[in-house]
A and B are shown apart, each in its own frame.
Chain A
């Protein structure tokens, strides 16, 4: 059974700091990885996708993928209180037809 693991947190950072969220996955053949943000009581919102080794930047967000070590991370620069949410990591199942989600890391940014 393919698994995606995340530290549940909470991860607490002060406003303006860099928040680092990590995710490991068990299936070496995984090709696609996604980060979702979920506010309390709301549905997940896609914020980043990454398919190749290395970094991918989008505004204050940077996704990092290391396939050799089987981890993917999300860095949030200049963290804001509005970034306080649960962040879900996901990769594809073996058939490539559906996503496997981690249970999420809760981030709290204090002002």
Chain B
């Protein structure tokens, strides 16, 4: 079974802090994704990566950056957290290359920015 893990289930940070969210998958998947999910807005793609050191912007990349130094690990960075970044953050991975396949999600990190 695919396993995607995220470093924290719940996180509370203060405005202006730098925040790191870590995601690790154990199935040698090429593609990894970061989403945020908010009530009424659904899942929105922040960034994705289809190879080590490769990244592409999703629909809402502003205020975020990512890092993928190893195939199994994809990090989301909030350079200076703001209250409007309070959300559920979901990491996902998929096996296929440029043609996307089934995505498998981690448990999510509920981030609160005070």
Write the nearest CB–CB distance from B24 to chain A, whole angstroms: 15
Give a binary string over A47-86; 1 marks a CB under 8 Å from any B CB, 0 the rest.
0010000000000000000000000000000000000000
Given known contacts A42-B107, A46-B104, A101 and B43 CB-to-CB distance under 8 angstroms: yes
Residues of B close to A98: CB separation below 8 A: 33, 45, 48, 58, 100
Residue pair B100, A103 in contact (C-beta under 8 Å)? no
Residues of A close to B40: CB separation below 8 A: 103
Q: How far is the CA of A42 from the CA of B101 in the complex (A)?
A: 22
Residues of A close to B100: CB separation below 8 A: 32, 92-93, 96-99
Residue pair B50, A97 in contact (C-beta under 8 Å)? yes
Q: B102: which of A34, A88, A93, A104 is its contact (CB, 8 Å)?
A: A34
Give a binary string over B6-27; 1 marks a CB under 8 Å from any A CB, 0 the rest.
0000000000000000000000
Give chain B's interface residue range (CB within 8 Å of chain A).
Answer: 20 to 34
Q: Does A111 contact B (CB under 8 A)?
A: no
Give chain A's interface residue range (CB within 8 Å of chain B).
Answer: 20 to 34
Residues of A close to B41: CB separation below 8 A: 103
Would you list which residues of chain B between 11 and 62 have a CB under 8 Å from chain A? 31, 33, 40-43, 45, 48, 50, 56, 58
Write the nearest CB–CB distance from B83 to chain A, whole angstroms: 21
Write the nearest CB–CB distance from A99 to chain B, whole angstroms: 6
Residues of A close to B42: CB separation below 8 A: 88, 101-104
Please give the residue numbers on chain B whose beta carbons come within 8 Å of chain A beta carbons, in ascending order: 31, 33, 40-43, 45, 48, 50, 56, 58, 90, 98-108
29 contacts between A and B (CB under 8 A): A32-B100, A32-B101, A36-B105, A42-B107, A43-B106, A43-B107, A43-B108, A44-B43, A44-B105, A46-B103, A46-B104, A49-B102, A88-B42, A90-B103, A92-B99, A93-B100, A96-B99, A96-B100, A97-B50, A97-B56, A97-B99, A97-B100, A98-B33, A98-B45, A98-B48, A98-B100, A101-B43, A103-B40, A103-B41
Please give the residue numbers on chain A whose beta carbons come within 8 Å of chain B beta carbons, in ascending order: 32, 34, 36, 42-46, 49, 88, 90, 92-93, 95-99, 101-104
